[in-house]
A = this chain, B = another copy of it.
Amino acid sequence: KPGCVLSCVLRQVRERLKTDVEQMKLQDPNFTPGLVVLQVRAGLEEAGGALAKSLKAVCLSLCPQVLHSITEVNENSSVHGLIVQLPLDSIHKIDTEKVTNAVAPEKDVDGWVLTSVNAGKLSRGDLGDCFIPCTPNGCMELIRQTGKSSPPPPPHTHLSHLNHQPGKWNISYTKLNLQKPVPRFVPSSPVVPFTNPPASRVCLTRAVFPAPNSDIVISRSCVPKPIDCLAREVGLLSDEVELYGKTKAKVQLSIIKRLQAQPDGKYVVVTGITPTPLGEGKSTTTIGLVQALGAQMKLNVFACVRQPSQGPTFGIKGGAAGGGYSQVIPMEEFNLHLTGDIHAITAANNLVAAAVDARMFHESTQSDKALYNRLVPLIGGERKFSPVQTNRLKKLGIEKTDPSTLTEEEITRFARLDMDPSSVTWQRVLDTNDRFLRKITIGQSPTEKGHTREAQFDITVASEIMAVLALTSSLEDMRQRLARMVVATSRGGVPITTEDLGVSGALAVLMRDAIKPNLMQTLEGTPVFVHAGPFANIAHGNSSILADKIALKLVGPEGFVVTEAGFGADIGMEKFFNIKCRYSGLRPHVVVLVATVRALKMHGGGQTVTAGMPLPKEYIEENLELLEKGCSNMRKQIENAQHFGVPVVVAVNAFKTDTEAELDLVCRVAKAAGAFDAVHCSHWAEGGAGAVALGQAVKRASEAPSQFKFLYDLELPIADKIRIIAQKIYGADDIELLPEAQHKVELYTKQGFSKLPICMAKTHLSLSHEADKKGVPTGFVLPIRDIRASVGSGFLFPLVGTMPTIPGLPTRPCFYDIDLDPETEQVNGLF
């Protein structure tokens, strides 16, 4: 029924406008809403789709403009009707009858809407919905298209609220109902718990203390705010948000354009000392810090964190949502599926892998001519190149558009990629801890006619596509990066890309939702972006540039964005600066370096620990000597941060067995080493309230002068760049390029990849390449076994030792404890 469609669309339009006005009010109490004239074009009685496209909005704030706008509408022959929306408080200023009379008689006035938006507050009846769904190209574009559909507006009258800058958020915080002691699963004396690696990091040997077995209990004790409420609180418009259930949402990239004039907030990166199996609580500190800055200090603040891999969630205990009273909630949503980004990467990655082997197979069984005829098939009597094939022709220097004009030599060059099976670097992936896929032989079915080869599966977060997702800056940029990915080398030495395989467009299609950052919240109701989670060894281990950029706009110049870098400062932070910041152009204001008394003691020579066994006594009793010795590692990592010219705040994540003297010692050493400040914090047990001192230190540091600089120049030869990192960051005497690495230096230089930044694949457990060397190892030469290229994401990764790229399941994986309550639908046993 047309009338029904009409009222449905009108409702959306009206609600949308209401929401926008409300949004502006929240950001600026002095904002005065204007008159809204909706132009309804022909086709209103048609289907909703055509209709939605034909709606335009004009937003004015002064009476003369109203009449002027209506005159415009009158003169526009494509406009067949109007809806006029007037704020209640302008009734006394505007003669509504005058407005009505101004409308040409042939135009149909489809309705009047009086909104009751008053100067200072919204009346109850209009405190509308949180979310108004709109058709992709319909109502959502309503306001935005105004600029196009009408003559350029006089400055400061038309559309003023579109360029409005977000100010202080009007956000409601969630009050924690702290329990002391924090609910714990492990009841008795301190033991080394079964490992809890933040899952995206997939390290096989680390055990974290304290065991946050209580995390899901705490997570569940707090009912999250509806995510669309939070979205509105932080200045997102309803058409920029795509809900995924009630606690997760994706944010559209269109917001970047809307807020482009908005100054960025302060940018803080959280890193740590060299990790130990005892854990330092870097994620927990990241969340604790934003809870402090937001819920306690009332600043606009966003956390930007990585999405964890699902594999380790079921393997060795580990959610990665923070812990205790500093968590992203609901933690089961955070740790499982989320909005499907990692699943999309699995699908995209494996499509490339299937395409590589299928192509080699088809090339091996067909003549050049047959291959060409199939690749450029006769359809309805003619052959045509698809756009992706045209790109390949360009790469080959063949400037032809008619498939029938290619010479035989050109046909061969075009149709035959001639990949060397032994050169294939593209691996299949799964988001599962499946150790039996570490090395496999594929193609053993008779249908593959004996074309077997050795291959491997990696865990999905190790896919280059994950690294691309984290480093991309737009849909267009992602499309290009995905097309540049090198999968193998031809027998003639030419790098073969996904574009050559014809699969790059399909990859972009598979990734088109994954590129949008995911909005969630902390226990205290502050916003979190969860987006991308690349490996921290063979990739750069940092969450996405897009999430950081959007968050920096949303918090505004007085606000903060806290992002976390994987592993210790020698790895995640170095890559954050040299790779992520290089691609994003963003400049960090503060480094937060997380340290714990226990981990430092281990660096000082404390015993190794075993999961399930009682902690050796040096970790639960005061031992200043051991601690002081171990502080060398922290000192070196502070120095590493200082190489980049950014102030460092040390966060000492306190445990209940730490003594005051120990905590003070760490702070003293940190300050002596040049840290801007060093503070204790207790956010695990107390939430944001336990990190206020840290928040204050970070705020002060952000106002301190800083002079950011990169560690190396991209123009340097590959080996020099590697040497600079090894010497300045790791403390190595030199590097040694083993033959395979030497070969790759030459190959990549020849192929034109030598200007890429360096992404070291080194153990995270030591500053050196030997995991058991704690503290600050010296007098070593860093061996570079091999170098690989991640051309799409845009870095070279030298391999120092072998990197496990898919974890395994232990004898008793933690899935033994995980179950669903069929009555309540509650997830139990997830930690």
Contact = CB atoms under 8 A, between A and B. Distances in A.
Interface stretch (A59-67, A185-193, A529-537, A780-788): A185-193
A128 to B, nearest CB: 6
Contact of A343 (B10, B176, B346, B434): B346
Interface in A72-128: 111, 113, 124-125, 127-128
A227 B133 contact: yes
A237 to B, nearest CB: 14
Interface in A811-828: 811-813, 815-820, 822-823, 825, 827-828
Contacts of A332: 509
A811 B15 contact: no
Nearest to A252: B825
A343 B354 contact: no
A181 interface: no
A176 to B, nearest CB: 8
A412 interface: no
Contacts of A502: 812-813, 815-816
Contacts of A674: none
Interface in A26-72: 46-50, 52-53
A722 to B, nearest CB: 27
A724 interface: no
Contacts of A366: 811
A433 B353 CA distance: 10
Nearest to A229: B8
Contacts of A347: 310, 337, 343, 431-432
Interface string A283-323: 00000000000000000000000000010001000000000
Given A441-B440, A813-B358, A131 B134 contact: no
Nearest to A132: B129
A225 to B, nearest CB: 6
A513 interface: yes
A492 interface: no
Contact of A505 (B113, B436, B443, B819): B819
A815 B177 contact: no
Interface string A185-213: 01111010010000000000000000000
A177 B47 contact: yes
Interface stretch (A143-151, A383-391, A652-660, A752-760): A383-391
Contact of A820 (B136, B353, B456, B479): B479
A163 interface: no
A111 B124 CA distance: 10
Given A246-B136, A344-B337, A435-B445, A131 B131 contact: yes
A11 B389 CA distance: 55
Contacts of A353: 432, 434
Interface stretch (A374-382, A561-569, A699-707): A374-382
A506 B829 CA distance: 9
Interface string A345-364: 01100110111011001100
Number of copies: 2
Contacts of A830: 509
Interface in A154-204: 170-177, 186-189, 191, 194
B509 A374 contact: no
Contacts of A827: 509, 512
A822 B379 contact: no
A695 interface: no
A435 B819 CA distance: 35
Contacts of A612: 377-379
B135 A816 contact: no
Contact of A437 (B377, B442, B509): B442
Given A172-B5, A188-B380, A815 B246 contact: no
Given A132-B129, A133-B226, A445-B438, A505 B246 contact: no
A696 interface: no
A478 to B, nearest CB: 8
Contacts of A174: 47-49
A20 to B, nearest CB: 14
B15 A354 contact: no
Nearest to A52: B223
Contacts of A171: 4
12 contacts: A48-B223, A128-B129, A129-B129, A340-B343, A357-B434, A358-B433, A378-B612, A428-B430, A438-B445, A439-B444, A439-B445, A440-B440
Given A332-B509, A502-B812, 16 more contacts: A1-B170, A49-B222, A113-B124, A129-B131, A133-B246, A134-B246, A135-B224, A137-B223, A189-B380, A194-B377, A354-B433, A439-B444, A439-B445, A475-B820, A476-B823, A505-B819
